Amino acid sequence: MGGTVAIVDTSSYALVSSITNGLTNPYGVEATPDGSEVWVTESGTNTVSVISTQTNKIIDTIVVGVYPHGIRITPDGTTAYIANTGPDTGRGGSY
């Protein structure tokens, strides 16, 4: 299994780079309010990968529950909400 996160220049619509190392089944993507990180849900590993926008590398991995898909980070950046779609899910909180 493998997956990628594509990095696209929004002014030219050109592919700038792809992050492949360490990703399995990327699904949901959300940037922190300050733009320093992008959080990616990974349904295949039940985790969220935190990617630095400075280096485009994974800087942390958080176990969040079964089959995480959707993700939202609050405007103040203190809490992430991850929607898990697997059975008996319901874990939540600040990550």
pLDDT at residue 89, as a whole number:
63
Instruction: Tell me: pLDDT of 59 over 70.
Output: yes
Which helix (H) or strand (E) element contains residue 81?
strand 80-84
Q: How confident is the model at residue 92 (pLDDT cuts 50, 70, 90)?
A: low
pLDDT at residue 95, as a whole number:
47
CA angle 9, 11, 14 (to 5 degrees): 40
The strand order across the sheet containing 47-52 reads: 26-31, 37-42, 47-52, 57-63
Token representation of residue 73:
């980070």
Q: Is residue 62 part of a domain?
A: yes
Q: Is residue 17 part of a domain?
A: no
Per the structure, how many domains does the chain have?
A: 1
Q: Is residue 53 part of a domain?
A: yes
Q: Is residue 40 part of a domain?
A: yes
